[in-house]
Amino acid sequence: MTAYPRWKTAIVAVVMLIGILLALPNLFGEQSALQLAKDQSAVSPADRAAVEKLLADKGVPLAGSFLEQGRLTLRFADRETQLKARDAISAAMPNAYTIALSTASRVPEWMRKLGLTPVKLGLDLRGGVYLVYQVDIQAAVKQQLDRYEQDFRASLRNAHVPYEDVKVDYANNRVRVIFRDAASFAKGRDAIQSDDRNLNFADTTVGGSPALQLTLTPQEIKQRQDYAVQQNIVILRNRLNSPELAVSEPQVARQGADQIAIQLPGLQNSAEVKKILGKTATLEFRMVDETDNPYDAARTGQVPIGAKLYYTREKQPVLLKRDIVVTGDQLTDASFQPNTQDGPAVSVSLDSRGAEKMLRNTEENIGHMMAVVFIDHSSEKNAAGVQVEHTKEEVINEATIRGVFSNNFQITGINPIEGRELALLLRAGGLAAPLSEIEERAIGPSLGQDNINKGIHAMVFGTLAAFIFMAVYYKWFGVIADVVLGANVILLTALLSLVGAALTLPGIAAVVLTVGMAVDANILIYERIREELRLGVSPRAAIAAGFDRAFSAIADSNVTALIAGLVLWLFGAGAVRGFAVVLVLGIATSMFTSLMGSRALVQLVFGGKRKIERLPI
């Protein structure tokens, strides 16, 4: 018998059984599907039964359904049935669900309960929507300067230090705090630096008055711009992963210095998604100016000092104080409540800093009115194709403070549709900088299927050619190598399913390359065995020497390929990274199958023979 431990053979058998189980869902394919989600709760089994009964009553055949992550997925035999089901649900249950057109795997229920899922297909294979957004990184720097201005004013006001003005110079990226005299300058400097000791000021004069000047360095500007892009990526992911949008498997990644690429595989209707993605919605809580007449200010255009003119949704003027009580940045959670005593409402939670400000404000202003300002930033292309920015500021709520509250309260006076959208935007967070859409591509399922077919054909033909060569050239050992190559593809598919990596067209190329590398490893082993046989070594000893002495060459070649794959994964993006992921996983599976799997099969075929006269190699 060839010397190979039985426990290693057992490991190979166990790994292959697990690999076959993990790869099995890929045999079932996909169907057209609908994803249903509710605004503030998970879809229940009772909801599922009600929807299924509705479709049955409407004569819409259902291929299958399942609940996952609080969403209901309905599968249909074709696209026409999918659209009929969507129209039927929308008509019978208006506003009950957010409905998204998608696709879903046909795996059996028992596999789904075990968590077995097929390999995720990328946008180039599955079809869907590809969006590219430009981040206004200059606006991010301006927002930082505006925040410094507000903070400096608040610090001076809280310390009761008189000052002339706080001016922002956007062109030179600086903020100047101008004081009346040297005494107020010294007190103001201490007040501002006591609130933030990390700021580096320069002493200067403006019009003969002493002033503090804060100028952002190029490094700080770059950090702010990078933060804006990364924060927007996080916010967009949160919005796409929210149950209200019902988007499955979104991919959000940075592209270049100031762009964000979004891939939505399987998505067929992008209008609702795009409506939410580009919005920068936030709230401001301000006290109402109850001493001046807002109608006079609106008619004359003369706004009193310390006040700002706003309008309600009914186009009624409202004067609010310039000092902001709490901003949307201090919100930690928001949820829509459709049925309260005062009608639909959004329940808001504040962080500790916002709660402290709200508590102090309500303690000092019981009996006075506070307003909620809704600020909505969005962008769209006009008829000439030029991106146009829109900012809408309106008062959505005015109420008298009846009692003291801090971190939890409700905003009323909104309709259900606006309430749901507002809760989603506030909960996901406000964008760190405005976005503008610069590219949208829709990849249809037919194109994706064509890519799949071509990729699979290339993989099958390439693999088949390698199989035929190995079987002809190395005879029975070549057949063993073919079995090992098949096992390699199974294990690679299993790993892709397990880790959730998306398979793209370059990924299929990496699969073909992995098969070629696995063939190369087997050739090194078999040529080493043939060399040992030519030196007159016995068949058993030749087999052992072939596997043992070829190990170093196989390890060296695979390690160098692994290094290249890791570099591509770390520094690449998009298609390059998709190729690298499959390549790295393929190197691991080819090493295992070539060294352990092939040896175990040789043991199984030749190990039981008492005497081996010659090897069919």
Q: What is the pTM of this model?
A: 0.61
Tell whether the model's pLDDT for residue 319 goes beyond 90: yes
- For residue 396, the model assigns a pLDDT of 78
Pick the CATH number of 6-25+444-606 from 3.30.540.10, 1.20.1260.10, 1.20.1640.10, 2.40.50.840: 1.20.1640.10
**For residue 426, what is the enclosing H or E element?**
helix 416-428
56-89 per-position pLDDT tens digit = 998 999 988 888 777 888 999 888 898 899 889 8
Going by pLDDT thresholds of 50, 70 and 90, the confidence category of residue 271 is low
Tell whether the model's pLDDT for residue 393 goes beyond 80: yes
- The answer to whether 39 and 420 are in contact (CB under 8 A) is yes
Distance CA 416, CA 427 (A): 16
Q: What is the mean pLDDT of residues 565-576?
A: 79
- The answer to whether 518 and 594 are in contact (CB under 8 A) is yes
- Rounded CA Rg of the chain: 33
- For residue 15, the model assigns a pLDDT of 92
- For residue 1, the model assigns a pLDDT of 43
Tell whether the model's pLDDT for residue 562 goes beyond 80: yes
Going by pLDDT thresholds of 50, 70 and 90, the confidence category of residue 502 is confident
Q: Which of 40-44, 52-56, 269-273 has the highest mean pLDDT?
A: 52-56
CB atoms within 10 A of CB 448: 22
Distance CA 155, CA 553 (A): 68
Q: For 504-536, b where at least 16 C-beta lie within 10 A, e where not — what string?
A: bbbbbbbbbbbbebbbbbbbbbbebbbebbeee
Going by pLDDT thresholds of 50, 70 and 90, the confidence category of residue 17 is very high
Query: Could you tell me which residue, 95 or 479, shows the higher pLDDT?
Result: 479
- The answer to whether 319 and 309 are in contact (CB under 8 A) is yes
Tell whether the model's pLDDT for residue 18 goes beyond 90: yes
Cβ partners under 8 Å of residue 153, min gap 6: 166
Residue 212 has which token pair? 């503090």
Distance CA 44, CA 285 (A): 37
% of the chain at pLDDT higher than 70: 85
The letter for the amino acid at 497 is S
Query: Could you tell me which residue, 556 or 260, shows the higher pLDDT?
Result: 260
Tell whether the model's pLDDT for residue 339 goes beyond 70: no
Give the Cα-Cα-Cα angle 192, 193, 194 (nearest 5 degrees): 90
Distance CA 464, CA 481 (A): 12
Distance of CA 348 to the CA centre of its chain: 25
**Mean model confidence pLDDT for the chain:** 81
Q: Which of 64-78, 331-345, 415-429 has the highest mean pLDDT?
A: 64-78
- Identify which of 339, 341, 342, 326 has the alpha carbon closest to the alpha carbon of residue 408: 326
Distance CA 385, CA 339 (A): 42
CATH of domain 30-106: 3.30.70.260
Going by pLDDT thresholds of 50, 70 and 90, the confidence category of residue 153 is confident
Lowest mean pLDDT among 185-199, 347-361, 411-425, 583-597: 411-425
Which DSSP state fits 312? B
Residue 121 β-bridge partners: 503
The letter for the amino acid at 77 is A
Pick the CATH number of 280-412 from 3.30.1360.200, 3.20.20.70, 1.10.287.130, 1.25.10.10: 3.30.1360.200
Phi and psi angles of residue 13, each rounded to the nearest 5 degrees, phi first? -65, -45
205-249 per-position pLDDT tens digit = 888 888 888 888 888 888 888 888 887 887 788 777 665 555 656
> How do the domains of the chain map onto residue ranges?
6-25+444-606, 30-106, 137-220, 280-412
Residue 367 has which token pair? 């009996």
- Identify which of 57, 62, 99 has the alpha carbon closest to the alpha carbon of residue 77: 62
Q: What is the mean pLDDT of residues 38-58?
A: 84
Cβ partners under 8 Å of residue 43, min gap 6: 36, 37, 67, 70, 71, 72, 97
Instruction: Tell me how far CA of residue 294 lies from CA of 285, 315, 317, 376, 560, in angstroms.
Output: 18, 12, 6, 23, 73
- For residue 281, the model assigns a pLDDT of 60
Q: Which of 115-124, 450-459, 464-473 has the highest mean pLDDT?
A: 464-473
- Identify which of 35, 15, 22 has the alpha carbon closest to the alpha carbon of residue 89: 35
Instruction: Tell me how far CA of residue 95 lies from CA of 98, 339, 416, in angstroms.
Output: 7, 14, 9
Residue 213 β-bridge partners: 176, 202
Going by pLDDT thresholds of 50, 70 and 90, the confidence category of residue 403 is confident
- For residue 229, the model assigns a pLDDT of 87
CATH of domain 137-220: 3.30.1360
Domains 137-220 and 280-412 share a fold: yes
- The answer to whether 525 and 547 are in contact (CB under 8 A) is yes
